[in-house]
Each structure stands twice: as structure tokens, then as C-alpha cells.
Amino acid sequence: MVKILRVDRRLIHGQIAFSWTAYLNVDCILVANDEAARDDIRMTTLRLAKPKNTKLIIKSIDDSIAAFESGKTDKYKIMIVVENVDDAYRLAKAVDAIQVINLGNVKAHDDSRPYKGDRSINLTDEDQRHLAELIAMGKSVEIRMVPNDGIRPFKAEI
């Protein structure tokens, strides 16, 4: 069961390892990231940051989609973490089990701008179109750094 898909450029860090995993009561974190899945040093760093008693899986986006399609993930309560909105879009569009997309920390790019003045959420027009499409599919898109923050629903501004 997928509890949440979080977009966070830092992937695993204190908020994920402690606040989110406890709040969601997950037993598995899936880091879906093409670069991390190919980088042994980055994988080692992510493994060091994971909480005890929580399984960590690091896969590319395509391999993550395949794992959900195969049913291998069915036995876990999963939090998915991706680095950017494009990866979240690809996963959420392909995997019906993903119903909640959480925007936690979206990196600024040359063509992005802070969403409603929030410097931790930087979106391009394409990001906003992708998120609006996910909402149209019936998925929920929220902005929340930590579980205790109030949920701010995302609304496209394009």
C-alpha cells in the first residue's frame, strides 16, 4: 500500500527518516531516482540515512513502475520519495496505488519560480501542468513540509 509519494530534492533526510515514517507508519521507503539507482556512493549514503526497522529500496523510475506492476510491493506500507515533479508525474500517472503526492522541497531551476511565494516549492509551467493533470485523474496534490504542518492543497497557477 502506497501511503504517500513525496517530492523532496534531498531524498532521505531527518524529516523523512523520523517525522514522515513515524507519522505514516511505513515499513518501506522507496527512493525512485534514476541517478541514485546507478550511483553506489549515493546509495550507500541513502542507506545510512534510513531509519532502523524500515526497508529501503532504491530503483530507477522505470524499475519502480515495474515493481508496482509485478505486485512485489503489495506486502509493504510504502512511502515513495522522488527528487522532482517530473519523476512524481511519471510514477503517479503509471501507478494507480499512488493517490497522494506531497510537495516537500522542490529545487529551483532557471525556468522555475516559487509557488505562491514559498521558496521551498519551485515549479515550472510544465510542473504545474503535470500536477494539474494528476489532480484531474483524481489524485491529491498537497504542500506540506512535515506532518504537523497544515495541508495546503496545490492549485495550478498557469
Out of 9, 10, 13, 42, the active site residue is: 13
Helix 61-70 to helix 85-94 angle (10° resolution) is 20
CA 10 to chain centre: 10
- Calpha distance 149→34 (Å, rounded): 30
CA 1 to chain centre: 15
Q: Which of 136, 134, 135, 128 is nearest to 156 (CA)?
A: 128
Known catalytic membership, residue 130? no
Q: Which of 89, 79, 82, 99 is nearest to 128 (CA)?
A: 89
- Calpha distance 54→65 (Å, rounded): 21
Length of the chain: 158
- Calpha distance 129→123 (Å, rounded): 10
By annotation, the residues acting in catalysis are 13
